Amino acid sequence: MPREERTEKATPKKREDVRKKEGMVARSADLTSGVMFLFAVLFLRLWGPSLFRHFASLVEGGVAGAGKEATASCILSHLRSGIVGIMGALAPLALALMAVAILVNGLQVKLYFVPKAIKPRGERINPLLGLKRLFSPRSLVELAKNILKVALVGAVAYYSVRSDYVRLHGIMGAGAAESLSELMRVIFNAAFKVALVMFAIGAADFGYQKWEFERNIMMTRQEIKEEFRQTEGDPNLRAALRSRMRELARRRMMQRLPQATMVITNPRHYAVALQYHRRMSAPRVIAKGADFLALRIREEAEKLGIPVVEDPPLARALYDSVELDQEIPPELYKAVAEVLAYLISVDRRMAARIA
């Protein structure tokens, strides 16, 4: 028997299952790193000069302090304080990058902890399976992607610096401050272009990962049928249950038929049994049916001695507009009252029945 092809999109249940059980999601590490690098470049572009001045003051203070007392303990103390100062200055950038990474990953896959995904597996440390994965088509595709990314990023960085080569060559004889400022401008310009390229690569990679993920979780028609059967139950069983419930409802309805005051018929297609006594605000429908069930209601009413009145428009209106155990609407009061008046006029016992 040929294997059925996976041609159907994954159901919401299948997506949730692969996410919970295997931790499979469409996620691009390249997009995360691209956004982080772009954010870091913009951050340093805005706050870089103040950070540089802060580093310079730390170095100057350390050198001045070490010059006054050039002992090993003093130098070590100044070095320690300098490192702490540098870490404190870079802390906002580190925290911001961490927040960006969490945000980008959260937007891609939503934060969801899957214990099974980090559970140790023997096949992960199996060297034979490792070699097999290393030379798998997916690994080769990833290798080709990485080579292409490195080549593209390197080319952008090279041509960006090359375009500023004349400017860099011209600052050789300038002062230190001017040369450093121009050098930083060139570096930031190249870094920004590289960041944009990395972001574009990450966005394209996310699109590819999304496409591949959707392709990997596609389902066969049989799998969809099996899932529906597991979640909704066997269609044949559900049909049988519905039939059984309808039969029970019909039995309960027929058991209440002796309480009816009269039955309005079509005469063959519809039958509606009404209950009424003077303590009720309006007549109430206690049984109704069409075709075969209408015939049963009429036959049972005749056996019980309940008046049966043929009024096709009224029977159809009651059947369509009133549910079981509901009172008739005001617009039908007059028509039903006329039927009651007629029955009382032809049978004196009807007045006692509704009293």
DSSP class of residue 5 equals P
β-bridge partners, 280:
none
Tell whether the model's pLDDT for residue 114 goes beyond 70.
no
Alpha carbon distances (Å) from 339 to 256, 312, 320, 343? 21, 12, 19, 6
Cβ-proximal residues to 218 (8 Å cutoff; 6+ apart), any chain: 6, 7, 8, 9, 10
Alpha carbon distances (Å) from 122 to 94, 129, 138? 35, 10, 21
- Mean of pLDDT values over 217-246: 75
How much of the chain exceeds pLDDT 90, in percent? 4
**Element at 11 (helix H, strand E):** none
Q: Which two tokens stand for residue 198?
A: 């990395």
**Element at 308 (helix H, strand E):** strand 308-310
Reported confidence tier of residue 272, pLDDT bands at 50, 70, 90:
very high
- Mean of pLDDT values over 310-325: 89
Tell whether the model's pLDDT for residue 333 goes beyond 60.
yes
SS3 271: strand
Mean per-residue pLDDT over the chain, rounded:
78
In angstroms, how far is the first alpha carbon of the chain from the final one?
75
**Antiparallel, parallel or unpaired: β 262-265 and 308-310:** parallel
Count each helix (H run) and each strand (E run) in the chain, helices first. Answer: 14, 4
Q: Which two tokens stand for residue 135?
A: 């030379």
- Mean of pLDDT values over 289-306: 88
How much of the chain exceeds pLDDT 70, in percent? 74
Number of C-beta neighbours around residue 13 at 10 A:
13
d(CA 24, CA 112): 11
Tell whether the model's pLDDT for residue 228 goes beyond 60.
yes
Domain segments of the chain as ranges: 24-218, 254-354
56-106 pLDDT, tens digit per residue, is 666 666 555 555 555 556 656 666 776 776 777 778 888 888 888 888 888
Give the pLDDT confidence score for residue 344 in this predicted structure: 84
Strand order across the beta sheet in which 308-310 lies: 284-290, 270-275, 262-265, 308-310
Number of C-beta neighbours around residue 273 at 10 A:
30
Residue among 28, 48, 45 at smallest CA distance from 199: 28
Give the pLDDT confidence score for residue 142 in this predicted structure: 77
β-bridge partners, 30:
none
**128: amino acid identity, one letter:** L
- Mean of pLDDT values over 105-113: 70
- What count of Cα atoms within 13 Å lies in the side-chain half-sphere of residue 102? 8
φ/ψ of 271, rounded to 5, equals -145, 130
Tell whether the model's pLDDT for residue 262 goes beyond 80.
yes
Greatest Cα pair distance in the chain: 128
Of the ranges 2-11, 23-32, 264-273, 277-286, which one carries the lowest mean pLDDT score? 2-11
Between 274 and 161, the higher pLDDT residue: 274
With tokens 């039995």, the residue in question is 251
**Element at 273 (helix H, strand E):** strand 270-275
Tell whether the model's pLDDT for residue 252 goes beyond 80.
yes
22-46 pLDDT, tens digit per residue, is 567 788 888 888 899 999 888 888 8
**Element at 23 (helix H, strand E):** none
Q: What is the C-alpha radius of gyration for the chain, rounded to an integer number of angstroms?
A: 42
Highest mean pLDDT among 111-120, 143-152, 308-317: 308-317
- Report whether 319 contacts 290 (CB < 8 A): yes
- Mean of pLDDT values over 107-125: 58
d(CA 153, CA 202): 12
What CATH superfamily is the domain 254-354? secretion proteins EscU (3.40.1690.10)
β-bridge partners, 271:
265, 289
- Report whether 251 contacts 287 (CB < 8 A): no
Tell whether the model's pLDDT for residue 1 goes beyond 50.
no
β-bridge partners, 308:
263
Cβ-proximal residues to 214 (8 Å cutoff; 6+ apart), any chain: 9, 10, 26
Residue among 30, 28, 9 at smallest CA distance from 150: 30
